[in-house]
Structure 1
Amino acid sequence: MSEVDDAIASARASWSRISDDRGAVGAARLPTRGRTRRTQTIGKRLTRIAIADVAILIAAMVIGWIVPLGIGGFMLVTALLVAATLLFAVWPAERAPTPERLASVDIKALPRQTERWLEAQRPALPAPAVTLVDRIGVRLETLAPQLARFADDAPEAIEVRKLVGEQLPAFVKDYERVPQALRTTPRNGRTPDAELVAGLSLIEQEIGEMTQRLAQDDLDTLATRGRFLEMKYRDET
């Protein structure tokens, strides 16, 4: 085996270790993912409320300089502040994409859209499956920037869409159609809950393997170029 091959093998081994480390780090931060998303959503709504309320107050001050507002004007401003606060507290409603939408969304947006869809399914899933959904979310975050360089019709993009945009939503929907009373009843040696957990675990692993496959060319190029630089410049010194 040549030194370049050794460098490539070393890079691949390093990527495998990094991937495992990322998985461990991702698992450690899973409990905070939902909290972070909720905090971000609340922060956006509070920002909209603050902007609307400030605009109303500025408008009231400008009008008050021209025409005294009086008690009626004060009550009107108060009503507008309350209305704006209530409106932006619930609007715009963030609706999760549909499975049909996931099947056709731009490949660059697919990981984030799939994560949003999975987030909306959490209430219907058993606790072990919710943990796996969070792990899949971590995998999708890693996968997203890798897809930025692929067109929708690229073989790599088609493979990712098949799993993430089609098979994953269809699998979860199959589970959700099972009556809740039957989800813990064994059938063919396994309950629907267990089937769901096993399937999501396989999907999570496959997304991780996709990430590694998409990174192989970059790792090979990096290792080869690094070895070239060593041969060209270190040997000259």
Structure 2
Amino acid sequence: MTTERFDRVIARADRVMRQLDERDGAVRDAARRERQRLNNDLVRRFARVGVAIGVVSLITIIVGLIVPIGMFGFLAAVGIAIGIAAVLGFMPSQSRGPAAPPADLPNGQMVQRFDSYIYRQRAALPAPAQAKLDAISSILPSLRQTLERIDDLNPEAQDARRLMSTHLPSLIDRYVNVPPAYRSQKDGEDVTVDERLVEGLEAGRAALAEISDKLARSDVQALETQGRFIKSRYGEERIDG
């Protein structure tokens, strides 16, 4: 009984510490970005509903000016407007569950969808893997800023897109499909499923960080080149009367 009580105390302490940790750092930032995405989705839904109701109202007014519609016609128009509003309001704009971003999204949207995907999958992974996801999440804002300005066919962008749409989601999804009882078993290289997941996530994090750093350094070099040109071209010139 003492051992069981001790285990319960430790488990409760772990939950409390995890909750405290999630209030700060990468998890907090990822949660804030996810809330912002959900809020933006709600705004788009309300906008669609408003446009639909406006169109139905305009059509009703035009028809009423041509042919008297009467009370029943007015009620029918109200019913149509309510039906359209309900369909547009409850129609899912994207998958409700964790889903990998489609491969045909533009760069900026690809980063956002991948950010949402790893945030939603985080709870299904063990603590070491969650730490790797947090590290990946912290890279995404700056990566999005650079990827949004370059073409989708850029080689660096292509590597990042494959990681976010295929390789990393496939790794996470395959792990989730493994029954928990098998995740601690070691393979032929003496590595468990949990350890293999952490290794894969760390490799993906390093690759995304390298891509982000390379793109940022390219922007810095472009700025330095432009600055040197302006200095050499105009720095020593004098404007005569």
Paired residues for 1:199-214 under 5 Å: 199-214=200-215
- 160-169 vs 131-140, which deviates more? 131-140
User: Does residue 77 of structure 1 match 2:77?
Assistant: yes
* 1:19 counterpart residue number: none
* 1:12 counterpart residue number: none
User: Does residue 226 of structure 1 match 2:231?
Assistant: no
State the shift of 1:233 in Å: 4.5
How many residues align? The count is 204
SS for the counterpart of 1:126 is: helix
Question: TM-score with structure 2 length normalisation?
Answer: 0.63
- 54-63 vs 157-166, which deviates more? 157-166
* 2:148 counterpart residue number: 145
State the shift of 1:213 in Å: 1.0
* 2:11 counterpart residue number: none
User: Does residue 126 of structure 1 match 2:123?
Assistant: yes
State the shift of 1:67 in Å: 0.9
Q: Considering only aligned residues, what root-mean-square deviation do their CA atoms show, in Å?
A: 3.9
State the shift of 1:171 in Å: 1.3
CA offsets 1:159-195 (integer angstroms, 9 cap, x no match): 334433432222122212212x448x54459875675
1:139 and 1:204 in contact (8 A); partners too: no
Cα distance in 1 for partners of 2:95, 2:227 equals: 47
State the shift of 1:44 in Å: 0.9
User: Does residue 34 of structure 1 match 2:34?
Assistant: yes
Greater RCO structure (CA 8 Å; 6+ sep): 1
Cα distance in 1 for partners of 2:173, 2:86 equals: 34
- Note the residue ranges of structure 1 that are not aligned, 5 or more in a row: 1-23
State the shift of 1:69 in Å: 1.3
The equivalent position to 1:113 in structure 2, one of 92, 95, 110, is 110
State the shift of 1:29 in Å: 3.5
Q: Percent identity?
A: 21
State the shift of 1:110 in Å: 4.3
* 1:156 counterpart residue number: 156
The amino acid across from 1:116 in the alignment is R
1:126 and 1:193 in contact (8 A); partners too: no
* 1:7 counterpart residue number: none
1:139 and 1:208 in contact (8 A); partners too: no
2:100 and 2:113 in contact (8 A); partners too: no
CA offsets 1:29-80 (integer angstroms, 9 cap, x no match): 433111111111111111111111122223333333431412x223312311
State the shift of 1:86 in Å: 0.9
1:157/1:54 CA distance change after superposition, 3 Å: closer
1:111 and 1:164 in contact (8 A); partners too: no
Cα distance in 2 for partners of 1:138, 1:100 equals: 16
SS for the counterpart of 2:148 is: helix
1:49 and 1:84 in contact (8 A); partners too: yes
- Note the residue ranges of structure 2 that are not aligned, 5 or more in a row: 1-23
